[in-house]
Amino acid sequence: MTTENTTNDEIVDQTPIENNEIDSDALDAGIEERVEEISREEQLSQDLASEKDKFLRLFAEFENFKRRTAKERIELFKTANQDVLQSMLPVLDDFDRALTEIKKTDDNVLIQGVELIQEKLKNTLFSKGLAEVELKAGDAFDADFAEAITQIPAPSDKLKGKIVDVIEKGYKLGDKIIRFPKVVIGQ
């Protein structure tokens, strides 16, 4: 037989059957290898996804930790001098009382001197974050911002349930009240 006029299909058809048969064991082994390879790739993909998820969660947790500690640090700086400021409040109260009594005299030099020292102390404390809680007679009483020390019969009907007098000023440091104002409430 000559191969000059034959096509490839004819050549295949002319080959003996032994050469055309595929070894099924080899084919099965190749398929199993390929299935195992795909299974390993899927397992690696799942492992990678799992590790990526763990990483993202850890990263988010770390970011939350950084944010929380930064906030705590800022709060600590704001209130770090709270003890010192609280210990200075009685001195500030004493200046207020002294100035009230000194104003009853006619010694203007003494009054100016005490006012100067009082203002200097107030400015120093206020520059460190101290602020006065603003309450006055006639304001509505709110237990979140003031401490009622007593109740008296209201001098007028419009002062019932309201502040009649402020006995001791209140102060706050930032947004936190460090000493509540002591007030008298009308019944």
Residue 64 has pLDDT above 90, yes or no: yes
Domain ranges of the chain: 10-79, 81-128, 132-187
Task: Identify the architecture of domain 132-187 in CATH.
Answer: Roll (2.30)
Average pLDDT over residues 124-134: 90
What percent of the chain has a predicted confidence (pLDDT) above 70? 87
**Torsion (CA) 85, 88, 93, 98 in degrees, nearest 10:** -150
- Name the residue with higher pLDDT: 88 or 18: 88
Mean pLDDT taken over the chain: 84
Count of other CB atoms within 10 angstroms of residue 164: 21
Whether pTM > 0.85 for this model: the answer is no
Helix (H, G, I), strand (E, B) or coil at 48: helix
Residue 20 pLDDT class (50, 70, 90 cuts): very low
Amino acid letter at 18? E
**pLDDT over 70 at 13, yes or no:** no
> Strand 182-186 to strand 163-168: parallel, antiparallel, or no bridges (unpaired)?
antiparallel
pLDDT at 5: 52
**Region 49-72: what's the mean pLDDT?**
94
Which is higher by pLDDT, 156 or 1?
156
What are the b/e assignments for 98-116, b being 16+ CB within 10 Å? eeeeeeeeeeeeeeeebee
HEC string for 86-145: HHHHHHHHHHHHHHHHHCCCCCHHHHHHHHHHHHHHHHHHHHCCEEEECCCCCCECCCCC
Residue 171's pLDDT band (cuts 50, 70, 90) = very high
